[in-house]
Structure formats: C-alpha cells, structure tokens
Structure 1
Amino acid sequence: MPKQVDHEGRRRRIADAVCLLVDEHGLEGVTLRDVATRADVSMGAVQRCFRTKEEMLRFALAHIGERVTDRVRSRLAAGPAESAAGEPGPAPSAADELALVAGEVALLREEHRAEARIWLAFVAGAAVNPELARTLRSSYAGLEDLVARLVAEASGGTPAGRVEARTLLALADGLTAHVLIGHLTEAEAEEVLQAHLAGLWGRC
C-alpha cells in the first residue's frame, strides 16, 4: 500500500525551513537545495510542493503571517487570567485586548526576535517584488480588520477605527525595525507603544 503523504504538513515544514534560512541569510540566501536540506526532504519533494522558488517564498510569507495572527487570536481566546487564589480574573476590555494585539504584532519581545527579522526581510523583499507585496497585503488586511474592530469596540464605535488600525500597524512595524537595529530597546519601544495607546482614546 503506497505511503500516505501529508502534503500540507510537508509544505508547512518546508516553509519553516525557508523562514530559518531567511533569518540566517536573508531572502537572497534561500536556495532550493538548502531548503531541502534544512527541511530534511529531497529536492524532488520541494519541487513537487512548489513549482518555483517564488511560489515557495510566497507560501512561507503567508505562513509566518498566519503564525503571528494565530498567536494573537489564541491569546484573545484564552480568556481572563486566574488570580492567585485560582479565581478567574475580570474579563479583559477591548482596550486591554487591543494592547495585547499591538504588542504581539510589534514582535518586540526577545522570544520573537527571529520572527521580527524574518518578517522585515520579507517586507524589504516585497518592496521590489509585486507577488510578495500581494501576499503581504493579504496578511496586513486580516490584522487590520481585527485591530479596527477592537478600536471601534474600545472607543464606543468610533468611525475612525480603520484609520487608527492602520496607524497602529504602521507604528508596530516601525518599532520592530527600531528595536532590531538597536535604535530603541525593547522597553523603550514598549513605552512608545503604550503611550500611543493611552493617547488613542482621547482622539477617538
């Protein structure tokens, strides 16, 4: 009986390998041979999953975008934290959830530094690659919808929710870059982000 292959699982495994190589060498350092080696699959398996390197890179970009978005949604769905006595805490407000989402998207914490490097490498590549740019716009659109909803809820249905969502996402990307190049520390970037959020409600 022929061995069953989990094609989607293999594609994600290859995407993880691409991300590791992008972190180490940038987009230009990704080769099919190195991806196959890092994913522990044959060159033929990579080529059966992706017809071209371009297609593979687009899938990897969407994959890391989904990883960040899924983590955000998972944290939002986790519910209130328990108190020291084991009692459930108060349900988070929309403003609390917005702060959580902003912090996750900005990728400021040390544990997310590799994701930050990979994400910005793809952003730089998308500036000169229309296909990567199309995939990146799709990732941003999903995050923008989520942030706009939270802004509207936190501010009582403000019509400025979409503009504020775009502003917050742009700020998050900028802070990511400033932390990566060492212009800001993680704590300083977090201070900027929290100051923006604190001032948000006065503008809505």
Structure 2
Amino acid sequence: MPKQVDHEARRRAIAEAVCRLADESGLEGVTLRDVAARAQVSMGAVQRCFRTKEEMLVFALGYVGERVADRVRARLLRSPAQSAGTALGHAATEVSLLRQEHRAEARVWLAFLAQAAVSEPLAVLLRANYAALEDVFTGLVAEATAPTADADARRAARTLLALADGLTGHVLVGHLTPEAAHELLDSHLAALLRT
C-alpha cells in the first residue's frame, strides 16, 4: 500500500525551510536543492508541491503573512474587554516585528518585501496582506478615535501601518534600537488616540 502524504503539511514544511534559508542568506540563497535538503524531502517532492520557485516563494510569503495575522488576531481575542486603542496598540506592535523573538521573521519579511519589488506575484500577495491589515487598523482607529469621516480613519490606519512596518527595517539595520522604535510607535499611538 502506498504511503499517504499530507500535502498541506509538506507544503508548510517546505515554507518553513524557505524561511530558514531566507533568514540565513536572503532569498538569493533559496534554491530548490537547498530547500529540499532543509525540509528533508526529495527535489521531486518539492517540485510536486510547487511547479516553480516563484510559486514556492508566493506560498512561503503567504505562510509568513498568516503567522503575523494569526498573532494579531490572537492578541485581539486574548482580551476582548480591552479598549479599541489598546487593541490598536497591540496590533501595531505585532505587525512591527520588533520583539527579539520575531527578529528572524522580520528578516524574512523584509527579504520578501525586497523581492516583491521585482516579482509581481509576490507584490500582489503583499498588497492583499497590507490591505487586510489596513482594514483591521481602520476599524480599530474608527472605534478608538471616532473620526469625522471614514477617510480620516483610513488615512490614520495607513500611516500607522506604514510606521509599524517601516520601523522593522530601521531596527534590523541598527538605525534604531527596539526600545527607541517602541517609543516612536507608542508616541504616535498616543497622539492618534488624543485626537
């Protein structure tokens, strides 16, 4: 009887291998051969899961995006009695990937972001991820600040998302310490919630 293979579990294992390799040497260090070795599967198994390297990278980026989104959702659900402002702060903190335990994920995210500048399939997925996060942030901003118009909440959400996302790079290259980045994020949130 042939061995049953959980294809979704294998795809996730391959995505994990892509992420580990990207963390070590960027996406230029991700080859099908190295991914297969890191995932402990054959090259044929990788090729059965993904027709092309780009398809594999798109899946891996989606996998990383889902992990971040899952943490944001979990953080929001953990304390349902929290204020919208507190929830917004938690969501922005999760997106910024500033904590030490998320440093590898931040390097991988930025590697994908750089590659998306020259890969339309990756760019499409990133735009969808950012749009979904912007929607969450917009709802929280609207609830926390009671803006005069939906456009005000949307603009504030975009600004906060861009700040949270941008701080990741500043910390990774050593321009800001994680503490300084948190201070900037907290300062921006405090100003936003005062309006």
TM-score range, shorter chain: over 0.9
Q: CA deviation at 1:65?
A: 0.4
SS at match of 2:154: helix
User: Deviation per CA, 1:142-199, whole angstroms, max 9, x where unpaired?
Assistant: 1111111111111125521111111111101211111001111011000000000011
How far is the alpha carbon of 1:202 from its aligned partner?
A: 3.6
Equivalent position amino acid for 1:181 in 2 = V
| Alignment gaps of 5+ in structure 2 | none
Runs of 4+ in 1 over 6 A off after TM superposition: none
Residues matched between the structures, number: 193
Q: Show CA shifts across 1:10-54 (max 9, x none).
A: 101100100110011111110000000101111110000000001
Letter paired with 1:193: L
1:146-185 correspondence runs (5 A): 146-156=136-146, 158=148, 159=150, 160-185=152-177
Residues 39-72 of structure 1, C-alpha deviations (whole Å, 9 max, x = no match): 1111110000000001000110111001000011
Does 2:190 match 1:198?
yes
Aligned position for 2:60: 60
Structure with greater helix percent: 2
- State the partner residue of 2:14: 14
* C-alpha distance in 1 between matches for 2:22 and 2:129: 18
The question of 1:142 aligning with 2:132 is answered yes
Alignment RMSD (CA, Å): 1.2
Cα separation, 1, equivalents of 2:128 and 2:147: 25
Gaps of 5+ in 1: 81-90
Cα deviation for residue 201 of structure 1 reads: 2.5
Counterpart residue number, 2:86: 96
Q: TM-score, normalised by structure 2?
A: 0.95
Distance (Å, rounded) in 2 between the aligned partners of 1:65 and 1:165: 18
The aligned counterpart of 1:132 is 122
User: Which of 118, 123, 141 in structure 1 is aligned with 2:108?
Assistant: 118
Name the CA distance, whole Å, in 2 between partners of 1:68 and 1:141: 14
Three-state SS of the structure 2 residue aligned to 1:132 is helix
